[in-house]
């Protein structure tokens, strides 16, 4: 524990917290989501469009970093067993207990169903995939992908661990900085070859662009964490990474405002966008890690508590948000107060369930993947 990188815990907690704000925002914008407010407020898109490109990539990256710590004290089989217990079991539990209320309230609001929850619930066991049926993993797709990635990447991780290859050098930080930036290239190749053919679906079997991109960030997290001097280099260049990210998003928004979005039917535009978008995502992730390393590399009671609670919060949060959203959708109330109700209500109910129903009971901790 003396060598624990506490800033990783902070990033994990903050990243999942951002997800609650983001999903609360989805209630108000025109993008497709499960329930909608009676008034659309597309002003929310301003900050959501800035967060959307990197929010999940950051989570996969941090998950890969976490694997690097887990494999230091486990064999490959022990790691896979632990991941199956902490990921697959909560996934199955969530698909039968946590997710169905989301589908129920969505159907109620769309007037596709009018009965009670008891009347709705048996439809889950027809095993007809959503949206035609009521069987889905909804937001728990992240857990499903993480489990699959863990199975797929463990042989590679063990090989990297055994070889202990060092390509970042604290004595030559500029070259190491360039090497880290070159991680963008495989991401751009993924964008060029898959983004046009595979829409993001989260269904695992026909989601190859999102699947490959997420897997790369997961692997990157493991690789970076296994480099002895990686965090020092990322911390040193944190302002550079942030500056690149801010410049790229400012350039992109200005370009779209002046000339409009150009269709990616030309190879030149596709290549340009692939480099711009992937470099932006990678630099923002590196900047977040660098600033967290500089300012948040400490432990306190909050992050110690939150680091254990964050996974159950993730499993619970969207169902709570959808439920609250359904009941407040038609209130004659301004958007901002409703947003506050959604955010505070989601955090509040998730905390109550975790603290009083999950944390004290071994069986519940097992079902929610708590160590």
pLDDT tens per residue, range 257-300: 766 666 666 788 899 899 999 999 999 999 999 999 999 999 99
CB 328 within 8 A of CB 35: no
What whole-number percentage of the chain has pLDDT above 70? 97
**DSSP H/E element including 201:** none
What is the C-alpha separation between 335 and 29, in angstroms, rounded? 11
pLDDT number for residue 1: 40
* CA 182 from centre of chain: 23
Predicted TM-score (pTM) of this structure: 0.96
Mean pLDDT of 30-47: 95
Q: How many CB atoms lie within 10 A of CB 116?
A: 9
C-alpha distances out from residue 100 to 46, 116, 154, 335, Å: 31, 13, 32, 27
Q: How far apart are CA 55 and CA 12, in angstroms?
A: 11
* Interatomic CA distance for residues 179 and 124, integer angstroms: 49
Would you say residue 109 has pLDDT above 90? yes
Is residue 49 over pLDDT 50?
A: yes
Short-list 351, 338, 281, CA closest to 310:
351
pLDDT of residue 2: 46
Q: In a 3-state reduction of DSSP, which class is residue 134?
A: coil
The model's confidence at residue 252, banded by pLDDT at 50, 70 and 90, is confident
């Amino acid at each position: 524990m003396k060598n624990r990188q506490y800033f990783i815990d902070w990033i994990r907690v903050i990243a999942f917290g951002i997800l609650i704000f983001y999903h609360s925002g989805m209630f108000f914008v025109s993008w497709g989501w499960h329930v909608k407010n009676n008034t659309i407020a597309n002003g929310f898109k301003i900050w959501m469009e800035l967060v959307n490109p990197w929010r999940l990539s950051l989570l996969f990256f941090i998950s890969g970093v976490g694997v690097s710590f887990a494999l230091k004290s486990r064999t490959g089989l022990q790691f896979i067993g632990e991941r199956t217990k902490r990921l697959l079991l909560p996934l199955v539990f969530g698909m039968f207990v946590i997710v169905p209320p989301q589908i129920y309230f969505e159907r109620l609001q769309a007037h596709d169903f009018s009965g009670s929850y008891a009347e709705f619930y048996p439809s889950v066991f027809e095993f007809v995939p959503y949206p035609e049926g009521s069987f889905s993993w909804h937001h728990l797709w992240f857990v499903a992908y993480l489990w699959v990635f863990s199975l797929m990447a463990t042989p590679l991780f063990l090989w990297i661990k055994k070889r202990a290859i060092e390509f970042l050098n604290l004595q030559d930080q500029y070259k190491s900085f360039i090497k880290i930036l070159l991680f963008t290239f495989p991401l751009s190749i993924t964008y060029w070859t898959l983004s046009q053919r595979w829409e993001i679906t989260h269904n695992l079997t026909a989601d190859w662009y999102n699947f490959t991109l997420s897997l790369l960030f997961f692997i990157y997290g493991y690789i970076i964490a296994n480099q002895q001097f990686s965090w020092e280099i990322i911390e040193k260049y944190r302002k550079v990474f942030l500056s690149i990210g801010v410049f790229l998003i400012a350039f992109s928004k200005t370009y779209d405002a002046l000339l409009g979005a150009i269709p990616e039917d030309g190879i030149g535009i596709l290549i340009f966008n692939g480099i711009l978008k992937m470099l932006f995502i990678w630099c923002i992730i590196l900047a977040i890690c660098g600033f967290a390393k500089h300012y948040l590399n400490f432990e306190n009671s909050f992050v110690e508590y939150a680091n254990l609670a964050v996974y159950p919060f993730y499993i619970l949060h969207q169902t709570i948000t959808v439920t609250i959203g359904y009941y407040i959708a038609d209130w004659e109330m301004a958007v901002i107060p409703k947003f506050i109700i959604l955010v505070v209500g989601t955090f509040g109910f998730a905390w109550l369930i975790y603290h009083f129903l999950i944390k004290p009971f071994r069986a519940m901790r097992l079902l929610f993947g708590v160590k």
